[in-house]
């Protein structure tokens, strides 16, 4: 059983699983195809990914241009601020973003459909991030938007200079990238 919360951007959801806990620990479902389909989230997930990062690491904002991916993301250790930026050309929310704190404690998930740039920053000492994708990763197809594009205006809660990969330091602004789905 899940609670699906719509966000200000169509197609992006914050999902809360039902958690069964007692003095021994807890149990929860992290995905159930029928529940997601009943909520209108009809995805065929074909790849799972897992990353670990330290505090201040910012990954993103990434997208796949010709092989876009829908992603169901969650954190199993630590805490991150996760962001989706709408890149859908005809969307009334093109260029807008929505973000959510995901943590091992709150157990929330974030559903990001195709046509979005995605990124996150680690707020805890370390974080382990897992996600399902409905398309395989194609490294040659990856693109990005700069994490601090003033026109997108993401309000990152991490204070200080984030740790970026060399690739993520070189992403253009959304306007310069001219990307849209």
Q: Each residue of 20-78: pLDDT tens digit? A: 999 999 999 999 999 999 999 999 999 999 999 999 999 999 999 999 999 999 999 99
* Residue 34, pLDDT score: 97
Give pLDDT tens digits for 67-112. 999 999 999 999 999 999 999 999 999 999 999 999 999 999 999 9
Predicted TM-score (pTM) of this structure:
0.96
Question: What is the structure's pLDDT at 180?
Answer: 83
Catalytic residue among 62, 63, 118, 171: 62
Q: For this structure, is 67 an active site residue?
A: no
The pLDDT assigned to 178 comes to 82
Query: For residue 24, what are the domain limits?
Result: 2-177
d(CA 113, CA 43): 9
Residue 28 maps to which CATH number?
Answer: 2.60.120.10
The structural domain count of the chain equals 1
Q: What is the model's pLDDT at position 132? A: 98
Q: Catalytic annotation on 62?
A: yes
Q: What is the mean pLDDT of residues 4-32?
A: 97
For residues 112-125, average pLDDT: 98
Round to whole Å and give the CA distance between 145 and 65: 12
The values of phi and psi at residue 34, to 5°, are -65, -40
Catalytic one among 43, 118, 131, 171? 131
């Amino acid at each position: 059983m899940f609670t699906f919360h719509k966000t200000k951007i169509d197609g992006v959801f914050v999902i809360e699983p039902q958690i069964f806990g007692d003095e021994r620990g807890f149990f929860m479902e992290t995905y159930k195809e029928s529940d997601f389909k009943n909520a209108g989230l009809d995805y065929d997930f074909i790849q799972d990914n897992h990353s670990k990062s330290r505090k201040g690491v910012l990954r993103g904002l990434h997208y796949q241009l010709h092989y876009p991916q829908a992603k169901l993301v969650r954190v199993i250790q630590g805490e991150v601020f996760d962001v989706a930026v709408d890149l859908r050309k005809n969307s009334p929310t093109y260029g807008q973003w929505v973000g959510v704190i995901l943590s091992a404690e709150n157990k929330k998930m974030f559903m990001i459909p195709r046509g979005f740039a995605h990124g996150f920053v680690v707020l805890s000492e370390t974080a382990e991030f897992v996600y399902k994708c409905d398309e395989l990763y194609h490294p040659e197809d990856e693109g990005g938007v700069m994490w601090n594009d003033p026109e997108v205006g993401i309000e990152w809660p991490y204070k200080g200079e984030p740790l970026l990969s060399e690739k993520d330091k070189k992403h253009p602004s959304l306007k310069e990238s001219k990307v849209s789905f």
